[in-house]
Amino acid sequence: MAKLDTLCVYCGSSPGAAQAYTTIAQELGRRCAERGVGVVYGGGTVGLMGQVAEAAVEAGGAVTGIIPHHLMSREVGEQADSELVVVDNMHQRKQAMFERSDAFCSLPGGIGTLDETIEILTWKQLGLHDKPVVLIDHDGFWQPLFDLFAHQQAMGFLRPNHVELFEVVPDIDGLFAAIANHPEPTRPDRPDWT
């Protein structure tokens, strides 16, 4: 890619069972800030997403949180030293995150993180975008998903080239290298959703 201005980060609203997840979330936020890459995320102060945002802000980075009204109290919507966009629903959240991002990264997380990751891959599979999508497979976290993809392929539901929809990396260095090596996206930032 010619330039990475904004990175959408999908990750848990919980910290997870291992301190290493918090550490990698904090490192990602800090490294984005150091590179002048704005972070686009789910807008909460809790869990890994709160750690990414807080680390980015502390390092002087730009952060844009996008959160639906109904999650403002549950995920404690971020308001200090960042831009907070409040939308009506989850669908608007995902589209706004897409429109504001040059690339997408998935850290460990739960059902919501899985939902966001699968949806952005689905949009790519359908030709709605060709932006980079990178999964940070810290300590094999995403391996069960890859096993499911292999099963779906064996059962005739996924084509062999589905793995071209995303990159898998072990760490933050791998993330930035994968994005740098990705071809410049050619599709519009606002696809025709109709």
Q: Would 1 be classed as within a structural domain?
A: no
pLDDT of residue 1: 79
Predicted TM-score (pTM) of this structure: 0.93
Could you list the residue range(s) of the whole structural domain that residue 108 is in? 6-180
Query: Domain for residue 40, yes or no?
Result: yes
Residue 91 CB partners (closer than 8 Å, separation 6+): none
Q: Is position 186 within any domain?
A: no
Determine how β-strand 6-10 pairs with β-strand 103-106.
parallel
- Please check whether residue 193 lies inside any domain of the structure: no
| CB-based contact 131:103 (threshold 8 Å) | yes
Tracing tokens 């789910």 back to the chain, one arrives at 42
Write out the chain's pLDDT in tens, 194 residues: 778 999 999 999 999 999 999 999 999 999 999 999 999 999 989 999 999 999 999 999 999 999 998 888 766 765 555 899 999 999 999 999 999 999 999 999 999 999 999 999 999 999 999 999 999 999 999 999 999 999 999 999 999 888 899 999 999 999 999 999 999 888 655 555 43
192 is a domain residue: no
| Total of domains in the chain | 1
Q: Which two tokens mark 72?
A: 């403002």
For 80, phi then psi, to 5°, come to -85, 130
CA distance 63 to 7: 10
